[in-house]
């Protein structure tokens, strides 16, 4: 196209949208043009209540002045600085603050730009850790069915969502999967389900099959978000921790969704009282405002790399934007906002009201299950015969028209509002959703 010919701004064809039915979207686009506190503004000027914190990331709500100010100030002070063999103070400060709110065993922070990169980084650290300790035979990685760990090759290999895997070749070799924890007998449970701790014992079967000395790490979401809010049964994570420890296998918690207060504690590790060896996070790390992810590791893992001549790079891994100044400044401002507003624990005090309002939808048409924990909720609908996913997708479109933003995955509606939501807004969200479900 000649330079003097600008494309029409309303031409939607060039942007190949991620995880989107592009052709369908572009015939009836749903555009957001602004956001403040608990609301988006749609292109037609309507206010839309954010029931999902964007994509599980805007935990402090939208347009928080401290965060936007930190970004603009840093852009004017130090727009970019490399983190390879150079440093800048803000990245170190954020790492210290992250370690402060994490379980005490987590002592070090490796920066990435997203959850997917955090997952691939965590897997690489696990492999290299064993090798650095002279246990290079530990190369297998264990994920879980219905797990979501982003879209890098490592993440989709340990992930357990068939549509995210089947188009992309053979993936990583030497990966095995635990069964998911979603059992029909746990239907309509409030909070952590009773049945299924023994599903963790499947790890013993995998160990017996391959030999513990071939297994590097197990990665799980403490609570599986993307595949529809699958909660860990009581005792399950404890058991997984016990078995991994017994066999010298590292346990990685993917806390990209559960990090930063979603369950009522800073991280799920604290909520469940189970501490992994490595944790990933992203999303809420910067309130979703600017891309950033991180991997937190125990001192033992980090220290295993700190050997050999001091001038040699210990880990051949990193990104151009690892710990970049603007994201780091946003991260610090975000943590300050969370702490000032008590958001890292606010979900705990709202959880009771949330649970009650959510479960009040149990007798609505086509509802077959409701699950909740912290400020997360899921409503599973009976699929329309021959058209899986359609019932929930139609509800999503109707909900947007009715002024609430929800997320759907298959026929499951997932809710995860900003942690700033009021009780009245919880009621508004559930009342509107109730009307939407009744209309279906």
Which of 83, 90, 157, 226: binder of ligand PXG (CB under 6 A)? 226
Which of 95, 102, 141, 257: binder of ligand PXG (CB under 6 A)? 257
Least distance between ligand PXG and beta carbon 228 (Å): 8
Interacting residues of 243 by C-beta distance below 8 A, sequence separation 6+: 200, 201, 203, 204, 207, 249
Tell me which residues in 371-410 interact with ligand PXG (CB under 6 A). Answer: 407, 409
- Nearest-angstrom CA–CA distance, 273 and 275: 6
Q: Which of 201, 342, 316 is nearest to 261 (CA)?
A: 342
Tell me which residues in 276-305 interact with ligand PXG (CB under 6 A). Answer: 282
Site for ligand PXG contains 128 (CB under 6 A): no
Which of 111, 148, 236, 253: binder of ligand PXG (CB under 6 A)? 148
Q: Which of 161, 158, 196, 163 is nearest to 177 (CA)?
A: 158
- Nearest-angstrom CA–CA distance, 62 and 179: 37
- Nearest-angstrom CA–CA distance, 235 and 129: 28
- Nearest-angstrom CA–CA distance, 100 and 266: 10
Q: Is the separation of the CB atoms in 129 and 299 below 8 Å?
A: no
Interacting residues of 230 by C-beta distance below 8 A, sequence separation 6+: 146, 180, 181, 182, 223, 224, 371
Q: Which stretch binds ligand PXG (CB under 6 A): 124-132, 237-245, 249-257, 384-392?
A: 249-257
Cα 296 to the chain's mean position, in Å?
15
Which of 230, 240, 256, 263: binder of ligand PXG (CB under 6 A)? 256
Residue given tokens 């999902």 in the structure block:
52
Q: How many residues bind ligand PXG (CB under 6 A)?
A: 18
Taking the least distance from each CB to ligand PXG, the nearer of 147 and 264 is: 147
Tell me which residues in 11-70 interact with ligand PXG (CB under 6 A). Answer: 55-56
Cα 189 to the chain's mean position, in Å?
22
Q: Is the separation of the CB atoms in 296 and 109 below 8 Å?
A: yes
Taking the least distance from each CB to ligand PXG, the nearer of 207 and 399 is: 399
Least distance between ligand PXG and beta carbon 259 (Å): 9
Taking the least distance from each CB to ligand PXG, the nearer of 70 and 256 is: 256
Q: What does the block give as tokens for 169? A: 């070749």
Q: Which stretch binds ligand PXG (CB under 6 A): 132-140, 218-226, 338-346, 375-383?
A: 218-226
Taking the least distance from each CB to ligand PXG, the nearer of 233 and 288 is: 288
From residue 92 to residue 121, the character string flagging contacts with ligand PXG as x (rule: CB under 6 A) and all else as - is ----------------------xxx--x--
Q: Which stretch binds ligand PXG (CB under 6 A): 29-37, 253-261, 327-335, 374-382?
A: 253-261
Q: Which stretch binds ligand PXG (CB under 6 A): 165-173, 219-227, 233-241, 378-386?
A: 219-227
CA distances from residue 80 to 85, 88, 325, 327, 380 in whole angstroms, order as listed: 14, 9, 6, 10, 45
- Nearest-angstrom CA–CA distance, 330 and 72: 9
Least distance between ligand PXG and beta carbon 419 (Å): 17
Least distance between ligand PXG and beta carbon 416 (Å): 8
Q: What does the block give as tokens for 56? A: 């599980």
Taking the least distance from each CB to ligand PXG, the nearer of 176 and 221 is: 221
- Nearest-angstrom CA–CA distance, 373 and 268: 11
Looking at residue 31, the DSSP 8-state letter turns out to be -
Least distance between ligand PXG and beta carbon 10 (Å): 26
From residue 149 to residue 188, the character string flagging contacts with ligand PXG as x (rule: CB under 6 A) and all else as - is xx--------------------------------------
Question: Which residue has the CB atom at the shortest distance from ligand PXG?
Answer: 115
Cα-Cα end-to-end distance for the chain: 46
Least distance between ligand PXG and beta carbon 83 (Å): 19
Which of 54, 61, 225, 418: binder of ligand PXG (CB under 6 A)? 225
Strands (E), 78-204: 106-112, 140-144, 175-178
Taking the least distance from each CB to ligand PXG, the nearer of 148 and 207 is: 148
| Paired residues of 142 in beta bridges | 176, 218
Give the SS3 label for residue 2: coil
Least distance between ligand PXG and beta carbon 85 (Å): 26
Q: Can you give the binding site for ligand PXG, defined by CB under 6 A?
A: 55-56, 114-116, 119, 148-150, 221, 225-226, 254, 256-257, 282, 407, 409
């Amino acid at each position: 196209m000649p330079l003097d010919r600008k494309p029409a701004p309303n031409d939607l064809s060039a942007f190949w949208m991620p995880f989107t039915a592009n052709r369908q979207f572009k015939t009836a686009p749903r555009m957001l043009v602004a956001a403040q506190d608990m609301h988006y503004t749609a292109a037609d000027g309507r206010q839309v209540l954010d029931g999902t914190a964007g994509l599980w990331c805007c935990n402090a709500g939208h347009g928080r002045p401290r965060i936007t100010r930190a970004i603009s100030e840093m852009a004017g002070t130090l727009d970019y600085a490399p983190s390879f063999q150079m440093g800048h103070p803000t990245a170190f400060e954020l790492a210290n603050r992250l370690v402060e709110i994490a379980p005490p065993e987590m002592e070090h922070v490796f920066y990435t730009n997203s959850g997917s990169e955090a997952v691939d980084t965590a897997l690489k650290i696990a492999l290299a850790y064993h090798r650095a300790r002279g246990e290079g035979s530990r190369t297998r990685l264990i994920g879980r069915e219905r797990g979501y760990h982003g879209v890098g090759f490592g993440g989709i290999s340990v992930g357990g969502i068939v549509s995210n895997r089947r188009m992309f070749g053979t993936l990583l070799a030497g990966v095995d999967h635990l069964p998911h924890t979603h059992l029909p007998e746990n239907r309509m449970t409030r909070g952590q389900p009773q049945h299924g701790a023994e599903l963790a014992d499947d790890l013993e079967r995998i160990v017996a099959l391959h030999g513990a000395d071939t297994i590097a790490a197990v990665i799980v979401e403490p609570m599986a978000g993307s595949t529809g809010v699958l909660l860990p049964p009581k005792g399950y994570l404890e058991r997984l921790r016990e078995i991994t420890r017994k066999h010298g296998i590292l346990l990685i918690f993917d806390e990209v969704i559960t990090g930063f207060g979603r369950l009522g504690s800073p991280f799920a590790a604290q909520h469940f009282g189970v501490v992994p060896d490595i944790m990933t996070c992203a999303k809420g790390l910067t309130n979703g405002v600017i891309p950033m992810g991180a991997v937190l590791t125990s001192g033992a893992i980090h220290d295993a790399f700190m050997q050999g001549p001091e001038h040699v790079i210990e880990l051949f891994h990193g990104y151009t934007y690892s710990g970049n100044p603007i994201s780091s400044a946003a991260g610090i401002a975000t943590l300050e906002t969370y702490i000032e507003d008590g958001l890292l624990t606010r979900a705990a005090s709202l959880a009771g009201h949330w649970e009650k309002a959510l479960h009040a939808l149990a007798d609505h048409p086509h509802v077959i299950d409701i699950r909740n924990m912290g400020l997360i909720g899921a409503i599973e609908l009976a699929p329309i015969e021959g058209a899986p996913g359609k019932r929930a997708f139609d509800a999503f479109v109707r909900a947007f028209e009715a002024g609430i933003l929800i997320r759907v995955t298959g026929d499951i509606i997932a809710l995860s509002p900003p942690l700033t939501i009021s009780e009245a807004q919880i009621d508004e969200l559930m009342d509107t959703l109730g009307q939407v479900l009744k209309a279906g």
